[in-house]
Amino acid sequence: MKRVCVLGLGYIGLPTASIFAMNGFKVLGIDVKTDIVENINNGTFNIQEPGLHTTVQAAIKSGNLKVGTSPEKADIFIIAVPTPFKKNNLGNNNIPGKSHLADLSYVQAAAEAIIPFIEKGNIIILESTSPPGTTVNFLIPILEKSGLKAGLEFFVAHCPERVLPGNILKEFLENDRIIGGIDYKSAEIAKNLYEKIVEGDIYLTDATTAEMVKLMENIYRDVNIALSNELAIISEKFNINAVEVIQLANKHPRVNLHQPGPGVGGHCISVDPWFLIEKAPELSKLMLLGRQINDDMPGYIFDKTKKLLKDIAEPKIAILGVSYKGNVDDTRESPALKICEKFREANIDFSIFDPHVKKFHFDINSLNDTLEQSDLILILADHKEFKNINPDKIKNLVKTRMVFDTKNCLEHHIWKNEGFTVILL
């Protein structure tokens, strides 16, 4: 039975470890945080992801998944730690390539932790999204401190994760995978491993190309969301509905405009473009502009909200949804946080309801408390629960019947029938 050691038990590492365990591998999952390990062992970990609790419990029950804080010898090491960015505070925030820098400290720590355990024939796989060149120029030198030679005595590949938060378990199995080896043999070994689990097709390439592929997938989305956000802002000038423009333009067989929104959040799409901008600042003009447009959206929502409320004395805003997108509890890089901070700075009263988020920088209240005496309902995440809010039931709770649906997720005709003014992006 092959032994797998997974480093990092977060959104990617924990499902990965559990799925390998459920497929007959002997898995040791490692996290540096003892509370994470304890919570996994007693079933109280707080990652909200459909099916994950059941899968983790079954994996532990099978005896194939153990979790702990220090690595052991294994045949396969999978590094699935976060690669966030660090904001540069040297005062040069506006210089492309200097403002946001990839933080590879978790990759470094994970790689250093396994040095004493690397043996001949092992394969080490980096799943974490990384700037181009990381596997070859950053990871290998650390691993070779083991005294063994990469490509000769042990093997290394980059297999970027591609799963969508909210649908991780399904996409883990079904999505095609890109495997970039530091050489052909490394790629082949990694492929033999993943094809035991993944139902999608597996494509082989070199490690740096695989890193670039992963970044471009998310950059493609970021730039296209920026395009639709720009369309939303331009549409306001012409007094037309951007959502309708998008729906109609997408009837063209080769057009796929994305959806505008209050900004791009999460730990992937709003972060990964910076990894490429950092490495090629003078060559990544469109990517940088896309990032800036999306990062400016919270400010636009704030300004537009203020305009909507300009005739109301001491208005109260009811904010619905503060996670970075619908049906997840994750608030990392959430545009809602920036919007709330702007309301606080401007001394505008607001209350928040979010059925998924337990912990946030501002208080989360009940739906009724949030809506009571409010002058504007501001939708910032498209949670499924919001579609079930019956405007007839809440119309007498609010003070002003006005809803700004930045995610275009309500049945607007029903709200209009109950006397609400509906504003879209």
Closer by beta carbon to ligand SAJ, 221 or else 279 = 221
Q: How far is the CB of 279 from ligand SAJ (least distance, A)?
A: 17
Under the criterion CB under 6 A, does residue 102 sit at the interface with ligand SAJ? no
Under the criterion CB under 6 A, does residue 82 sit at the interface with ligand SAJ? no
Under the criterion CB under 6 A, does residue 225 sit at the interface with ligand SAJ? yes
CA distances (Å), 344 to each of 73, 261, 347, 352, in order?
Answer: 51, 21, 5, 13
Q: How far is the CB of 333 from ligand SAJ (least distance, A)?
A: 8
Q: How far is the CB of 208 from ligand SAJ (least distance, A)?
A: 18
CA atoms within 13 Å, Cβ hemisphere of 242: 24
Under the criterion CB under 6 A, does residue 327 sit at the interface with ligand SAJ? no
Q: What share of the chain is helix, strand, coil (3-state, %, to 5)?
A: 40, 15, 45
The yes-or-no answer on residue 33 being catalytic is no
Region of 111-119, 217-225, 283-291, 417-425 interacting with ligand SAJ (CB under 6 A)? 217-225
**Residues 267 to 306 in contact with ligand SAJ, rule: CB under 6 A:** 268-269
Under the criterion CB under 6 A, does residue 259 sit at the interface with ligand SAJ? yes
State the catalytic residue, choosing from 5, 159, 191, 214.
214
Q: How far is the CB of 248 from ligand SAJ (least distance, A)?
A: 16
φ/ψ of residue 319, rounded to 5? -90, 125
- Helix residue spans in 182-206 (DSSP H): 184-194
State the catalytic residue, choosing from 268, 316, 407, 409.
268
x-marked contacts with ligand SAJ along 162-191 as a string, rule CB under 6 A: xxxx--------------------------
Residue 221, burial from CB neighbour count under 10 angstroms (0-12, 13-18, 19+): middle
Q: How far is the CB of 224 from ligand SAJ (least distance, A)?
A: 7
The H-or-E segment that residue 124 falls in is strand 123-126
User: Within 10 Å of residue 345's Cβ, how many Cβ atoms?
Assistant: 9
Using CB under 6 A as the binding criterion, the count of chain residues that bind ligand SAJ stands at: 20
The one-letter amino acid code at 392 reads D
Q: How far is the CB of 1 from ligand SAJ (least distance, A)?
A: 29
Which one, of 301, 300, 269, lies nearest residue 287 by Cα?
269
Region of 71-79, 183-191, 196-204, 266-274 interacting with ligand SAJ (CB under 6 A)? 266-274
Which one, of 362, 355, 351, 346, lies nearest residue 397 by Cα?
351
Which one, of 315, 295, 296, lies nearest residue 305 by Cα?
315
Residue 23 in tokens: 């497929």
The yes-or-no answer on residue 340 being catalytic is no
Return residues touching ligand SAJ (CB under 6 A).
129, 161-165, 217-218, 221, 225, 258-259, 261, 264-266, 268-269, 324-325
Catalytic sites, residue numbers:
214, 268
